[in-house]
Homo-oligomer: A and B are copies of this chain.
Amino acid sequence: MDYEWIDGGVTAPQGFTASGIHCGIRKNRNKKDLALIMSDIPAFAAAVFTQNKVIGAPCIVTKRHLKDGMARAIICNSGIANTCAADGIEKAEAMCRLTADTLGILPDDVLVASTGVIGPSIDLRPIEKGMPKLAAALSKNGHSDAAHAIMTTDTVKKEFALKFELGGKICTLGAIAKGSGMIAPNMATMLCFVTTDAAINSSLLSEALAEVVSDTFNMVSVDRDTSTNDMVIVLANGAVGSSINCNKNDDYAKFVEALRALCIKICRALAADGEGATKLLECRVTGAKTKEDAMLAAKAVINSSLLKAAMFGADANWGRVLCALGYSDADLDVGGVAVSFLSAAGCVKVCQNGAGINFDERLAKAVLTQKEITISVTLQDGDESATAWGCDLTYDYVKINGDYRS
């Protein structure tokens, strides 16, 4: 299937506007802290949420408001997670009400998300005060401000959009996301808001999202810490007029493929911007017995602190890869493992049949000093494969999280 990357992020699809402002939740006046995404017309909506038992109040409220499968707007603040606060639900509902009142829509059509420090009660005053300005700023050009406003320790904004053909029409998918630390999504992810002008009903949209999330967001890990506020929302307003039937036809498959491409792009951006990261790591496992074995193996490698630190140091310490495969829950024959490191600088094979082989240390160093590194693991157990994304472990990860609350 053909698709093309375009600018415009979350407002690239027809019928969506967005905005982002500094309202005062954060002390730093240069950091936007409140984002709004709005569909001109009612949109089908689907979402996945964190599986953490400690779940943010915004997740609970958004789940409630999604019961009818429809939504108009997403309000999101950064700075405070609104999690583990006694008045969390009440405050999250109030954020929806404030947004709805200002936009002249129903509170039930507003979805809410928050990201930041767990614990403190969120102060609604800056949000209330900033809402008129936020609503007035809604525009086709507001996508970048919205992307900035949801960032926490992210060092780069994450927004992407792509267009593709669907049922004879050109459809667009757009997204903004945040996430840098506390990333080990489990059936959901950090925050990601996807918009599309394709017409796809909410139950089919839910199915498409679940299908894509399992091998995209759920295969990213920065630090194995599953967030309490993870959320991926997709809004499909059908503004382009295309319609995907309720049965899983070719159009549905195309939509899923486009959504998958978008989500993989976001996953790579999230992993590359992992807290303190200097390198994007990708682990590709092939030849696994089952899909689950492939996923478990790829995740174990990407999660190994020892391997992550070795990649930071550009040290071809493949024993760390073998060790991680060995303690993963994957069913695999360690005697059949081959490992190669790949990057823009080349490819170096370091292990075959579970044992080390002579390799060119100079080439290995060149391969591992690149910004994007693939750890290729070939098993001899079957035909299944999986890919996981992560990043290296650096001094800066420790620095950032040594004093996160200040």
Q: A residues bordering B, Cβ < 8 Å?
A: 51-55, 81, 83-86, 117-120, 181-182, 184, 186, 223-228, 303-306, 309-310, 312-313, 315, 317-320, 322-327, 332, 334, 351, 354-356, 393-395, 397-406
Contacts and interface: CB of A to CB of B under 8 A. Distances in A.
Contact of A53 (B225, B228, B305, B327): B327
Contacts of A400: 309
Cβ-closest 9 pairs across A and B = A118-B319, A313-B402, A54-B326, A309-B401, A119-B356, A226-B327, A52-B326, A53-B326, A313-B403
Contacts of A332: 53
Given A310-B404, A317-B404, A319-B81, A354 B119 contact: no
Given A52-B327, A315-B404, 4 more contacts: A83-B319, A224-B303, A226-B323, A310-B402
A289 to B, nearest CB: 13
B334 A53 contact: yes
Given A305-B223, A306-B181, A398-B393, A322 B354 contact: no
A interface: dominant SS: loop
25 contacts: A53-B326, A53-B332, A54-B334, A117-B317, A118-B322, A119-B319, A119-B322, A119-B351, A182-B323, A186-B327, A225-B320, A226-B323, A228-B319, A305-B401, A309-B397, A309-B402, A313-B401, A313-B403, A315-B402, A315-B403, A315-B405, A317-B405, A393-B397, A395-B395, A395-B398
A120 B317 CA distance: 11
A305 B119 contact: no
A118 B304 CA distance: 15
A311 to B, nearest CB: 9
A228 B323 contact: yes
Nearest to A81: B319
A305 B355 contact: no
B306 A223 contact: yes
Contact of A84 (B85, B322, B395, B399): B322
A334 B228 CA distance: 12
A223 B223 CA distance: 11
A299 to B, nearest CB: 12
Contact of A322 (B54, B320, B356, B402): B54
A228 B321 CA distance: 11
Contacts of A324: 225
Contacts of A326: 52-55, 226, 228
The winner among A186, A354, A399, A401 for most chain B CB atoms within 10 A is A401
Contacts of A53: 325-327, 332, 334
Contacts of A334: 53-54
Contacts of A310: 401-404
Contacts of A117: 317, 319
A403 to B, nearest CB: 4
The winner among A184, A186, A304 for most chain B CB atoms within 10 A is A304
A136 B322 CA distance: 38
A149 B402 CA distance: 34
A323 B225 contact: yes
The winner among A223, A305, A356 for most chain B CB atoms within 10 A is A305
A178 to B, nearest CB: 16
